[in-house]
Structures are given as structure tokens and as C-alpha cells.
């Protein structure tokens, strides 16, 4: 189904694909029922993005006015989600079937007479349903199960705490500031979070509360944009819709808790196809590739690095084997240069600070090796609907290997598997390449190839196998069978998506949110005291964005935009922040506070020797009424190569060190210490 002609987005019907010989369809005639030209493609992408944004946001806001029960203890929300998923797929499937029926009748292969034109109202309705169906699927799978909570998947637990902290920072500060440290450019790509911060400002929500709508809306937009992108590539609206829906389902099952990474992953199969066109000098594909790689670099570095390496490999293969010319390498240079310019919007401040000699500490972001990082994924052998689709994709990639765009997909697959192998190998050097995160990408590529394989079989392969037996009626029956089979398989897989995310959804209900409430209405945890702590600090005159706090309560920093003296773990810490050195300084203060730094003045003098902006606020675990026990701060230590890879070890500060020049207040289980000034 992928274009093999110089005229992009078209399917070339060769003589051997025509059961009735060249008199019916001359060799090389182009059959492109739904092909979009360049202007139409741009208009469709912008239109799909705007429609999906408004559609998802309005539905999310509407769902917030309902009173659905919590997802965990009740099956009502599951039932509503499943019914909505089924409705989306059935309506889209029915309109797609009608579209294919019209396409079948107008196919020059059959030379049917008196073919009625497709009604304009149905054309518009099918386009609307096709372009919005991926967004509707995102809403059904995520927004409905999360409708009764303010938190997103995984609540505020583990990694979601860091992501929420970053969005809270971006909602409070329009600059590309570090999520934690003061006066420091961000190291983590800020693109998705910065845009989310602007949505939070638009809706009048605190950053943490905007995480859920922004995750849902942004993924809905990316999923819907896939339809016109693949329509341009394949020249078929049904195939484009199928790829977009399959991609959306897989992303929602495998990577929905990390929306910015999910958005980048959705575009990787298309980027592989575009890479082969870029190597041929297609300027429209080149511009698209520059925008995709540049923007993705501001969203998620790992996937960007992997797909950029794949694009390099594709262009090298095209230059050395296919075209035997240096031109693909020149186009590659333009692709790299253009995308780097866009990437510097996010990365520029950090790189500039590094070049200017800012101190750095060891970056441990890649110090993580779970079990899945020790195995190569083989999705085409999985006993599931997606596994079967990936197997079809593998067959298609083998059968159509002569196609340059299929070869580009093979190159990408080889690069991703090589990345995984290298990730396993360099564990001996005390690091990884986080290769396990590419599992999702490989599934997406094989599943996309599976959709293309089904389309290829319906339009071409079956006629090669049975050139005289396939009549117009038989072809029509075959189309009906394929549509029904694909629809039933999609329903079977998609309706289980909320259950696949059940644990992550449950955490969104059981974690205490920024208002001190649990969405499942059970008693809230210690985080219910955060509001009281914040109110106390505001009463003392502290401005959150300008106040440095030493605390191990990550959730507090996720809900309120205070500056942290220390990041929660080294894995998300900015290398310019010197995480290890800060840990050593904090522990030294704690130990010496029981000795020579028990004197408040000596403690203050020692604190002022900090190479970094000193904390004006300390939030400890402990009790003012039990000073002998000390006040606890948990130091985070990197334990890689062990898994779990982080250990929290308590160090205790002597309360006597804060007798003068500091004020103390007991707030629940927390001791809040503030500087008198």
C-alpha cells in the first residue's frame, strides 16, 4: 500500500495486479483514491489538530461535571468506557466500510458503469469520524476512567511525581527553568511541559491539576494528526485511519503514563517512511522530518536519538546501495541541521551553561535496568491480537522487501534492535541506553506494517495469487470480511485497555492530590498537610518560586512551585545541580549538627558555606516535642546496577541547631523550619 511511484501518496497498479489484463488498467496507472496534495495535507493536519484539541478538551470538561464512581471499587466506569470504545470503533468501522464500498465501485480495475458518486454529506461525515476517532479513543480509554479524579495515571507516585513537578514549574514560570533547582536552565526536555503550563494558565488550574487534561488532550491531538499524515503517505483514508487507531491502542496500552514520550513514539513509523523519501530529495518530506525531529527533541530525547540514528542509517544505505550517490547524505545534513535549530529552543540554555564552564556532576539518568531490559522483544510471536497483527506486518515486510520504504522500515528495526543490544552490552561499563523503552516503538513499527500488509493483500497480493479467480463480487466479499475481522479484533483488544491500565488508574484515585483529598473518598495520607505547610510559608512572606526548600517530600514540590535545594533522586536531577556533592553536604551538616554544629550560629555559618543557594525552609519528618529523636531527612542514593536502583537512607538533624535565627512549627507529621529573615 505504500507509495512506490515518484508521485507521492499514490498506489501504482502494475499489469500483474490486474486480473483482466492491460486493457483494463494500463501498466503504471496511478490509483490514489484519497491522496492529499501538499496544501491539503497541511490544512488537514492543522484542522485535525484543532478539532482534536477542542473535541478532547470539551469532552474532558464535560466528564468533570459527571458523578461517575471511582474506577477501582466499581465496574460502572469500566462499563461506560467499554461502551464508548465500542461505539467509536463501530461507527468508524461502518463509515470506513461504506467508503471502501464506494472505492471498490470506482476502482478502474472493474470498469463498472453507472457508478453513483459518493454523497458529499457522507464524505464530510467520514472525514470527521476518521480524523476524530483516535482522539475519541483516547478520551474513552483515559478521560472516562479518570473522570472522578484530578490526578493522571500513576497518580503522584514514583516517576509521575517528577513529571508533575516539572509541569507545576512550567505553569508558574514561562522561562525554561529547571524543575527543581533555582537559577538553572532545564536539562529535561521542556517542550511538552511548557505547552502544558500554558494550558494550565489558560484554564486557571495549578500545574499539577492540568497534568491530566494536558496529557489526554495532547495525546488526542497527536493521534488524530496521524490520520492526515498517513493519508498523505498511503493515499488511502481507511488505511490511514486504521494505522492511527492501531497506533493509539498500542500507545494507550504500553506508554500512556508518559504522554510526551508517547507522542514522539506515535510518529516514528511515519518518520522511517519519510526518511527514504528525504534521501531521494523530497523537500516536503524533508520539511516534515525537520519539524518532527526538532520538536521531538524538545519532548523526549531517547526516542529522538533512536529515530535520528535510524534516519542516518537509511540515508547511508540509500546513498551506498540504492542511489549510489552522495545526494542522500547532503539531504541528511540539511535534515540534521534544521532539526538541531529547533531542538536548541529547549536545549540551548543548558548547552550554553555547560559550555561556559558550569560545574557538573555524574548523570545517572541511564542507571536503570529492569528485567525487560535484558531481553529482546519479539512482538510478532505474542499470543494476542497485536501479536497476530505484528506477524502480518513481519510477513509484509519480508514479501515487500524490494520497496525502498519497506527497506527503510527494516533499517529502523535493525537500528532499534542494535540499540537494545548495545544497551545490554554496556551494562558492563556501568551504564545502559535504556533500550527496554524501545519495546513500544518496535511494536508500533510491526503493527503499522501489519495494517499495510492487510491493505496490500486486499488491493494487490490476492490478485497476484489468484489473477483469474478474483471477480468483482469476490473482491467485494473479501473487503467485507476483512473489515468485519479487523473491527472485531480491534473491539476485542481496545475494550480491555482500561483494564490494562487498572493499576495506574487506581493510583490516580488512591494518591492524595494537591487539595489534600483522595478521589476514592478514603482518608487522605500525609499529603493532606501540604496545604497547611504552604499557607504557613505564605504567611511568613515566602514566595514559592523564589524560596529554596530542603525536603524529601517530593509530592510537596510537585504540588507547589517551591525551589528544591536537592532533587529527589539523581536520575531526574539536572547534572548542573551536582546531586552527589549536595548529598554529601547535606549529610555532613546532619552529622555535625550533633557535634560542633549544635550551636545555632555555627550551624548557620556552616550552612552559608554551601556552594549553592542555601535553603530558607526545611521540611523534616519528626516532632518538636521529641527533640532527642532528631528530625529526619531521607538521602537518595543510586544503587545501580541493583534493581530497585534507588535507596532512601535517613539522616537526622539536631533540633538544637535551629534554636536561634529559625522558627519551627509542627504541621501534622512534619516539622517546618523557616529562617527568621
CA distance linking residue 253 with residue 247, whole number of Å = 10
| Burial label, 275 (beta-carbon count in 10 A; 0-12, 13-18, 19+) | buried
Asked whether residue 26 carries a pLDDT value surpassing 70, the answer given is no
Average pLDDT over the chain, rounded to an integer: 91
pTM: 0.93
Q: Which tens digit of pLDDT belongs to each residue from 282-326?
A: 999 999 999 999 999 999 999 999 999 999 999 999 999 888 899
Q: Give residue 606's pLDDT.
A: 96
Distance from C-alpha of 578 to C-alpha of 545, rounded to nearest angstrom:
21
Q: SS3 of 569, please?
A: coil
Enter the C-alpha cell of residue 208: 499539577
Lowest-confidence pick of 6-20, 21-35, 181-195, 617-631: 6-20
C-alpha–C-alpha distance, residues 580 and 569, integer Å: 10
Section 246-255 average pLDDT = 97
Closest CA to 81 of 493, 495, 491: 495
Question: Is 377's pLDDT higher than 80?
Answer: yes
pLDDT per residue as tens digits for the range 150-173: 999 999 998 999 999 999 999 999
pLDDT in tens, 402-416: 999 999 999 999 999
Q: Is the pLDDT of residue 247 over 70?
A: yes
Number of Cβ within a 10 Å radius of residue 642: 11
Give the helix/strand (H/E) hosting 135.
helix 120-138
Q: What is the pLDDT of residue 1?
A: 46
Backbone angles phi, psi at 222, to 5 degrees: -60, -40
The pLDDT score that the predictor gives to residue 340 is: 97
Region of poorest pLDDT, from 105-119, 595-609, 656-670: 105-119
Q: Is 510 helix (H, G, I), strand (E, B) or coil?
A: helix
Minimum mean pLDDT range among 105-114, 319-328, 483-492, 607-616: 105-114
- Residue 119 is inside which H or E element, if any? none
Q: How close are the terminal C-alpha atoms of the chain, in Å?
A: 70
Residues for the chain: how many in total?
Answer: 677
Helix, coil or strand: residue 71: coil
DSSP 3-state of 665: strand
Q: Dig out the grid coordinates for 310 from the structure.
A: 535510524
What CA–CA distance (Å, rounded) separates 250 from 389?
11
* Percent of residues, the chain, with pLDDT higher than 70: 94
Question: Strand 646-653 vs strand 631-638: parallel, antiparallel, or unpaired?
Answer: antiparallel
User: How does strand 670-675 pair with strand 662-667?
Assistant: antiparallel
- Residue 650 is predicted with a pLDDT of 95
Which distant-in-sequence residues (6+ apart) come within 8 Å of 552 by Cβ? 568, 621, 633, 634, 635, 636, 648
> Residue 14: pLDDT above 60?
no
pLDDT digits (tens, 9 = 90+) for 471-516: 778 888 888 999 999 999 999 999 999 999 999 999 999 999 999 9
pLDDT at residue 108, as a whole number: 67
Mean pLDDT for the stretch of residues 426-432: 91
User: Residue 466 has what pLDDT?
Assistant: 75
Whole-angstrom distance, CA of residue 143 vs CA of residue 156: 17
* Strand, coil or helix: 9: coil
Amino acid at each position: 500500500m505504500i507509495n512506490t511511484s515518484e508521485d507521492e501518496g499514490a498506489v501504482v497498479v502494475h499489469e500483474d495486479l490486474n486480473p483482466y489484463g492491460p486493457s483494463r488498467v494500463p501498466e503504471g496507472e496511478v490509483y490514489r483514491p484519497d491522496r492529499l496534495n501538499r496544501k491539503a495535507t497541511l490544512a488537514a493536519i492543522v484542522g485535525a489538530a484543532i478539532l482534536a484539541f477542542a473535541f478532547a478538551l470539551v469532552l474532558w470538561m464535560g466528564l468533570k461535571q459527571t458523578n461517575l464512581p471511582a474506577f477501582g471499587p466499581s465496574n460502572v466506569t469500566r462499563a461506560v468506557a467499554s461502551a464508548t470504545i465500542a461505539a467509536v470503533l463501530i461507527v468508524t468501522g461502518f463509515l470506513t466500510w461504506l467508503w471502501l464500498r464506494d472505492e471498490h465501485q470506482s476502482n478502474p480495475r472493474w470498469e463498472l458503469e453507472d457508478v453513483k458518486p459518493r454523497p458529499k454529506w457522507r464524505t464530510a461525515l467520514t472525514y470527521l469520524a476518521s480524523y476524530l476517532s483516535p482522539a475519541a479513543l483516547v478520551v474513552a480509554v483515559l478521560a472516562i476512567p479518570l473522570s472522578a479524579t484530578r490526578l493522571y495515571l500513576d497518580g503522584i507516585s514514583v516517576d509521575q511525581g517528577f513529571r508533575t513537578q516539572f509541569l507545576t514549574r512550567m505553569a508558574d514560570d514561562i522561562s525554561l527553568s529547571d524543575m527543581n533547582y533555582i537559577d538553572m536552565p532545564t536539562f529535561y526536555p521542556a517542550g511538552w511541559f511548557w505547552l502544558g503550563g500554558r494550558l494550565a494558565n489558560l484554564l486557571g488550574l495549578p500545574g499539577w491539576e492540568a497534568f491530566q487534561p494536558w496529557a489526554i488532550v495532547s495525546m488526542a491531538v497527536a493521534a488524530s494528526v496521524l490520520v492526515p499524515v498517513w493519508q498523505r503517505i498511503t493515499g488511502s483514508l481507511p488505511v490511514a485511519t486504521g494505522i492511527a487507531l492501531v497506533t493509539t491502542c498500542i500507545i494507550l496500552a504500553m506508554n500512556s503514563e508518559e504522554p510526551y514520550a508517547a507522542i514522539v513514539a506515535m510518529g516514528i513509523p511515519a518518520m522511517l517512511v519519510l526518511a527514504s523519501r528525504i534521501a531521494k530529495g523530497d523537500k516536503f518530506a524533508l520539511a516534515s522530518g525537520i519539524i518532527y525531529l526538532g520538536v521531538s527533541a524538545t519532548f523526549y530525547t531517547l526516542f529522538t536519538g533512536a529515530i535520528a540514528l535510524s534516519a542516518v542509517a537509511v540515508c547511508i544505505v540509500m546513498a551506498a546501495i540504492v542511489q549510489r550517490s552522495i545526494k542522500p547524505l547532503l539531504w541528511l545534513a540539511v535534515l540534521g541541521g534544521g532539526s538541531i535549530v529547533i531542538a536548541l529552543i529547549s536545549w540551548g540554555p543548558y548547552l550554553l551553561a555547560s559550555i561556559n564552564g558550569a560545574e557538573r556532576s555524574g548523570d545517572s539518568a541511564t542507571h536503570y535496568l529492569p528485567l525487560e531490559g535484558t531481553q529482546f522483544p519479539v512482538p510478532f510471536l505474542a499470543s494476542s491480537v497485536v501479536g497476530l497483527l505484528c506477524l502480518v506486518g513481519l510477513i509484509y515486510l519480508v514479501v515487500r522487501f524490494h520497496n525502498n520504504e519497506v527497506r527503510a522500515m527494516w533499517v529502523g528495526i535493525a537500528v532499534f534492535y542494535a540499540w537494545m543490544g548495545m544497551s545490554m552490552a554496556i551494562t558492563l561499563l556501568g551504564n545502559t541506553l535504556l533500550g527496554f523503552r524501545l519495546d513500544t516503538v518496535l511494536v508500533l513499527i510491526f503493527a503499522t506494517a501489519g495494517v499495510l500488509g492487510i491493505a496490500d493483500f486486499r488491493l494487490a497480493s490476492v490478485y497476484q495469487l489468484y489473477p483469474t479467480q478474483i471477480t468483482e463480487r469476490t473482491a467485494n466479499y473479501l473487503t467485507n470480511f476483512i473489515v468485519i475481522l479487523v473491527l472485531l479484533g480491534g473491539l476485542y483488544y481496545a475494550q480491555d485497555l482500561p483494564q490494562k491500565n487498572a493499576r495506574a488508574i487506581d493510583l490516580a484515585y488512591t494518591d492524595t492530590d494537591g487539595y489534600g483529598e483522595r478521589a476514592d473518598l478514603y482518608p487522605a495520607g500525609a499529603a493532606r498537610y501540604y496545604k497547611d505547610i504552604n499557607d504557613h510559608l505564605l504567611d511568613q512572606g515566602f514566595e514559592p518560586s523564589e524560596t529554596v526548600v530542603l525536603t524529601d517530600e517530593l509530592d510537596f514540590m510537585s504540588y507547589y512551585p517551591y525551589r528544591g535545594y536537592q532533587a529527589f533522586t539523581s536520575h531526574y536531577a539536572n547534572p548542573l545541580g551536582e546531586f552527589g556533592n549536595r548529598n554529601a553536604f547535606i549529610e555532613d551538616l546532619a552529622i555535625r549538627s550533633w557535634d560542633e554544629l549544635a550551636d545555632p550560629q555555627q550551624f548557620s555559618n556552616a550552612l552559608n558555606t554551601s556552594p549553592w543557594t542555601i535553603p530558607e525552609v526545611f521540611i523534616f519528618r519528626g516532632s518538636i516535642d521529641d527533640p532527642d529523636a532528631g528530625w529526619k531527612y531521607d538521602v537518595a542514593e543510586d544503587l545501580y546496577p541493583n534493581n530497585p536502583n534507588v535507596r532512601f537512607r535517613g539522616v537526622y538533624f539536631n533540633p538544637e541547631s535551629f534554636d536561634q535565627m529559625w522558627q519551627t512549627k509542627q504541621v501534622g507529621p512534619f516539622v517546618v523550619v523557616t529562617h527568621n529573615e
